Chains A and B, each alone.
Chain A
Amino acid sequence: AQRVTQPEKLLSVFKGAPVELKCNYSYSGSPELFWYVQYSRQRLQLLLRHISRESIKGFTADLNKGETSFHLKKPFAQDEDSAMYYCALNSGGYQKVTFGTGTKLQVIP
């Protein structure tokens, strides 16, 4: 069965410091991974997908199949990055998405 693990419930970083939100997954097939973000009082929204290999709002994530990881990184944290971040795994023929428990990123001014 597929599983997504986000080991940190809360990550506090100072403004301008690097950010790394950890995500590990287990899935026997070929994974498709996402990061979703939820800002305060807003709906859950897609941040980025590994297939796109893009950088959104300065965030990047690289799929490491050997380590089964998909960590989210940003070189310099900004105030507006404070939010809840969910790692998610697309699986199965119906492309059901399995979410991790989320990590709250708190950027300290």
Chain B
Amino acid sequence: AQSVAQPEDQVNVAEGNPLTVKCTYSVSGNPYLFWYVQYPNRGLQFLLKYITGDNLVKGSYGFEAEFNKSQTSFHLKKPSALVSDSALYFCAVRDDTYGTGANNLFFGTGTRLTVIP
């Protein structure tokens, strides 16, 4: 069975400072990892994913994430936070409940990021 943990419900960061949103995972086989962002009353927007290859993945809006196999982590980062980055962030991992080749995701419970002006 797979799982994903976002250990922080809330992260506060000052505008212009670097931000990190943490995610750890547990999965059998190769992990396919995703980050999504959700603004209030909106759907989820895809930021980036790791399937294979380079451990540092670059995504939309200046975000990046580093896949660390030994620590089973996939933390989301951005060098300089903007007030407009304030949102709910979800980490997700491949869900093999419906078969190892199935394209479903198991989502974390989300981390609310607040960027303080």
- B is a partner of A: no
State the A residues within 8 Å of B (CB). Answer: none
